[in-house]
Chains A and B, each alone.
Chain A
C-alpha cells in the first residue's frame, strides 16, 4: 500500500525522468548500504570501493532528480515534505563524499550509507502523510530551510552516533587486548574521537540555526502549541545534551568512554524526534501543522 501511495505520489508530482532518477537514487543508496556493511563484516570478500561507486552514482542520480524537478513545469519543487527530506539527504551524501575524499576513514561508509538509507525509509514511510489531500507541505522558504538544516544535523548526529558505537567497540577490544576479525577495518580511536567531535561541532550550529528558523516560521501566537509537540521537546533535549557534551569535552569533565555514551543518549532523542514521536503522536504533529496551515 505504501509503495502504491509513493508511486501515485511520484506520478502526480514529477515527470518520468525525475521519477526514474529518484527511484535509482533510493535503490542505489540501499545497495550502497548493503555493500558497505558487507565490506565491513566481510572485508576479504567485499571491497568498500563497490559501495563508494554505488554511493557516488546514487548521489548523482539524486542531484539529477532535483535538476529535473527545477527544470520541469508543473508541481513546484520542494513544495512537499518528501522532497525537502530528500534534499537533506542529498546535502548529507555530498558532505560525506567530500569529507571522505579529503580525509578517507576506514569503515565509516558502513554507517554513512545506512544513514542515508534510513532517511529514505522514513521519508518513504511518511510519504502518505506528505501527499494526503489538502496537504501542501512546507512552501515557505523559512520552513524549508528549517527542515533541511534540522535533518542535516540529524544526519550528522547519526554519523556521530555510528562513530561513537565504533569507538566504544574498538576501545573495548583494545582494553581487553583482543582483536576482533571484523573490527580490523575500524578507524583508530583517535580518528573516531575526532569524527565525533567534528560532528558535534558541525551539527550543533546546524541544529541551533534550524531551531531558530523553525521558531521564526511560526508566529508568536503559535509558540504556545510547540511545548505540546513531543518532537519539538525531544529536539530541545537533544540540543541540551549536545551542548552538555560539547562543554564537557571542552572543560575536560567528560573523558574516557563517557562522552560517547552521551552521544548515544543524544541520538536516542534524534530517533525519538525524527521517527518515534513523529509517528506515535500524529495528533500533536497535526495540531502544529494545522496551526501553520491556518496562518
Chain B
C-alpha cells in the first residue's frame, strides 16, 4: 500500500506563477510519463496537470520516491529541486489514496465540489493508460476515485450551487450585467478555463464573442467553435472598447492591459461597465485597472476568496464527504490487501501439498501390497497434517496483510515463495463497485 504516492503543487501551496512554471502541456505528458517510469523507477504513473494543480501519481517500489520525483519535476521545468521543494506536497500510502479521492471529488478544488476536475482526472488517466503507463495498481485506484466522485456528487449537496471557476466568474458577470444577449465577450489567449468560461457565457446567452490570440489560426479555431470572430493580438486595443466582458489567459510574462488602455476604452464606449476576468499568471491586466470606475477586475485569487466563503457555508456537506471518503479508502485498502495476500497463500499451499503428494507417493511405493482403503487413509492423514501445519501460517499471513505496513513483508514472502510480485496487486474488476456497496 505504501507504494502509492503523489507529489504535486496546487493553488493552496503554490502561487499561480509557480503552478504555471511546473505545468505539463498535453504534448509533454507522454515523455514525462516515460521519465517517471525510467528515471524515477515508477512502475505505474499518471500526471494530472490543470490550471490549479500539477500532480504526479506513482506506484513504485522505491523506498524514497519523494526525492526522485521532485528532481524529475524540477528537471522537467528547469528549476532547482530545493526551490521547488518549498511549494510541493508529498503523500504516500493511505494519504496518497485519500488525496486522489478528495481531488476527484472536488473537495480539494478552488471551487468546492466542482465537477470539472473529475473530467480532468479522467483525461489524465486515459492519457497515461494510452501510453501504457498504468497497471493494476493505478487502474484500480483511479476507477475507485471516479466512483467516489460520482457518489459524492449524488449523495451529498457538495456540488450544488456554484460548480466551477468558470461558473463563479459568470455569476459575477451577471451581477454587473442583467442581460448578456446584447453584450460582447472578448477572450484573450486560448486556455482551458478561459474557453470554459466562454462556454458558460455562451450558454448564458452572450450576444457576441471575439477570440484574440497570438496565433490567428488558433483564435479562428476557437472562434469557429463559439460562432465568434477571431482577431490577432496586435489589434487588441481596437477591440477592447467593444468588449463588455474580457477574459484574459495568455502566457505573457508582463501585463498586456494597462490602466491607460482601459481608460481610453471606457471613454470610447461612453463609460459603460467592463467586467474583466484575469485568469492568467502572471497577470495579464495591471492591478491598478481595478481602481478605474466602471471596471470590475477579478483574478483567480479573487475567485478563491469567494470559494472559501462558499466552503464555509457548506461545512456540513464537507463533513459528509469526508466520512464517505474515509469509508471508501478503508474499503479500497481492505480489498487491496486481502487480494494481495491471496497469491502468496495459494503459492504456499501449493508448494506444501506438492511436497505432501511427492512424499506420500514415495512412501506408498514401498507398500505396493497395501489395500487401497489403507492407502487412501495414509494420503488423507498426510493432507490433514499439512493443512494443520499450514493453518497458523496462513492465518498469520492474512493478519499481516491487514496491517498498514503489509506491503514490504508481503513482497518478501512473495519473493521467498517465488511468487510474481505483480500478481499480489489488486485487480480492479475484483473490487466491488461503490454503488453496489451503498
- A residues contacting B by CB (< 8 A) are 170, 174-175, 177-179, 186-191, 252, 255-258
Contacts and interface: CB of A to CB of B under 8 A. Distances in A.
B176 interface: yes
Contact of B302 (A177, A186, A190): A177
Given A177-B306, A255-B271, A188 B293 contact: no
A170 to B, nearest CB: 7
A44 to B, nearest CB: 12
B271 to A, nearest CB: 4
B87 interface: no
Given A177-B298, A177-B305, A179-B309, A252 B175 contact: no
A62 B216 CA distance: 65
A65 B176 CA distance: 42
Contact of B306 (A170, A179, A189, A190): A179
Given A174-B172, A177-B298, A256 B178 contact: no
B89 interface: no
Contacts of A187: 178
B293 A257 contact: yes
B296 A175 contact: yes
Given A177-B305, A177-B306, A189 B290 contact: no
Interface string B148-191: 00000000000000000000000010111111000000000000
Contacts of B174: 188
Nearest to A255: B271
A258 B294 CA distance: 11
A255 B302 CA distance: 25
Given A174-B296, A177-B298, A255-B293, A189 B270 contact: no
Contacts of A174: 172, 175-176, 296
Nearest to B291: A175
17 contacts: A174-B296, A175-B290, A177-B298, A177-B306, A179-B306, A179-B309, A188-B176, A189-B273, A190-B176, A190-B179, A191-B178, A252-B270, A255-B293, A256-B271, A256-B293, A256-B294, A257-B293
A234 B266 CA distance: 35
A188 B271 contact: no
A177 B302 CA distance: 6
A189 B174 CA distance: 9
- Summarize A's interface: helix, strand, loop or mixed: loop
A138 B174 CA distance: 48
Contacts of A186: 175
Interface in B321-376: none
B306 A252 contact: no
> Closest 9 CB pairs between A and B?
A256-B293, A255-B271, A188-B178, A177-B302, A191-B178, A190-B178, A190-B177, A189-B176, A174-B296
Given A174-B172, A177-B306, A190 B270 contact: no
A202 B381 CA distance: 107
Interface in B122-136: none
A195 to B, nearest CB: 10
A188 B177 contact: yes
B299 to A, nearest CB: 9
Contacts of B175: 170, 174, 186, 188-189
* Most chain B CB neighbours (cut-off 10 Å) among A178, A189, A252: A189
A255 B296 contact: no
A216 B305 CA distance: 60
Given A174-B172, A191-B178, A252-B270, 15 more contacts: A170-B175, A177-B298, A177-B305, A178-B306, A178-B309, A179-B306, A187-B178, A188-B177, A189-B175, A189-B177, A189-B273, A190-B176, A190-B179, A190-B273, A258-B293
* Most chain B CB neighbours (cut-off 10 Å) among A170, A177, A178, A256: A177
B308 to A, nearest CB: 11
A255 B177 CA distance: 17
A174 B273 CA distance: 12
Contacts of B309: 178-179
A252 B302 contact: no
Contacts of A175: 290, 296
Nearest to B290: A175
A104 to B, nearest CB: 11
Interface string B276-312: 0000000000000010011010100010011001000
Contacts of B306: 177-179
A190 B273 CA distance: 8
A272 to B, nearest CB: 29
Nearest to A105: B178
* Most chain A CB neighbours (cut-off 10 Å) among B172, B294, B298: B294
Contacts of B176: 174, 188-190
Nearest to A187: B178
A179 B171 CA distance: 11
A255 B293 CA distance: 7
Contacts of A190: 176-179, 273
Contacts of A188: 174-178
A2 B290 CA distance: 53
* Most chain B CB neighbours (cut-off 10 Å) among A256, A257, A258: A256
A258 B271 CA distance: 12
A255 B294 CA distance: 8
A88 B306 CA distance: 44
Nearest to A171: B296
A131 to B, nearest CB: 46
A59 B179 CA distance: 30
